[in-house]
């Protein structure tokens, strides 16, 4: 093969590589449409999460809130790629805590069941940001007593998911499961959870 021909072949290969790289970079900065390689995974999915929970009494500094490690299980259904409904069951460890609260105030362990709507944005680079809203029924322990108290509340929060594969997503979220729940002494508490989640879509 003559030198000019070799140079032409080499130049063509380099141009093809440059075009492929430019195409890949252009794809990275744009959403992947539903009709492209990533088809939306609709239907049932399940998962779970682990993280920290805290009881925050109204009028107390956040630093004085009781904290515990906990986890949750998730069963969900995707109506659209960005509209999901989830049932969650979870609970926390029991901690000594409670020293910041009066006897009779709610304390860990905290067990709960939630029904949540999870509404997200369109996926961009396999990332979806979402908000959740729904309701929670929970049972909490009581400071200085072996009894428990039950509370129900609207729940709100938000988070983000990253698609590891078309079926598996890893996420992080922050949810206020109980919001300003009144106690017998007239005070109020809220219960928050910050968790890392993993979901598998069938």
Mean pLDDT of the chain: 79
Structure pTM?
0.74
Same domain, 147 and 102: yes
Looking at the fold, whether 91 and 168 belong to one and the same domain comes out as yes
82 shares its domain with 142 = yes
Domains identified in the chain, total number:
2
Check pLDDT > 50 for residue 171.
yes
Provide the residue range defining the domain that includes 93: 43-201
Q: Do residue 15 and residue 49 come from a single domain?
A: no
59 and 25 in a common domain? no
Residues 73 and 170 in one domain: yes
| pLDDT tens digit sequence for 16-47 | 454 445 444 444 444 444 434 556 678 999 99
- pLDDT, greater one: 11 or 153: 153
Residue 202 has pLDDT above 50, yes or no: yes
Are 120 and 74 found together in one domain? Answer: yes
Residue 20 within a domain: yes
**C-beta pairs of 86-89 under 8 Å, 24+ apart in sequence:** 86/114, 86/115, 86/116, 86/117, 86/118, 86/132, 86/134, 87/113, 87/114, 87/115, 88/112, 88/113, 88/114, 88/115, 88/116, 89/113
Q: Are residues 50 and 23 part of one domain?
A: no
pLDDT computed for residue 3 by the predictor: 47
In a domain, 36, yes or no: no
Whether 5 has a pLDDT exceeding 50, the answer reads no
């Amino acid at each position: 093969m003559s030198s000019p021909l070799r140079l032409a072949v080499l130049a063509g290969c380099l141009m093809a590589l440059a075009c492929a790289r430019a195409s890949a970079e252009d794809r990275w900065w744009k959403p992947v449409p539903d009709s492209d390689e990533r088809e939306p995974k609709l239907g049932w999915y399940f998962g779970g999460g682990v993280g920290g929970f805290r009881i925050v009494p109204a009028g107390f500094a956040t630093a004085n809130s009781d904290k515990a490690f906990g986890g949750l299980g998730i069963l969900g259904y995707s109506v659209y790629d960005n509209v999901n409904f989830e049932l969650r069951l979870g609970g926390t460890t029991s901690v000594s805590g409670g020293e910041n609260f009066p006897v009779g105030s709610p304390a860990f362990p905290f067990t709960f069941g939630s029904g949540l709507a999870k509404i997200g944005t369109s996926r961009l680079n396999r990332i979806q940001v979402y908000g959740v809203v729904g309701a929670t029924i929970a049972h909490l322990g009581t400071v200085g007593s072996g009894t428990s108290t039950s509370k129900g509340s609207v729940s709100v929060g938000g988070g983000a998911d990253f698609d590891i594969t078309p079926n598996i997503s890893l996420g992080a979220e922050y949810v206020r499961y109980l919001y300003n729940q009144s106690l017998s002494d007239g005070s109020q508490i809220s219960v928050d959870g910050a968790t890392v989640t993993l979901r598998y879509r069938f």
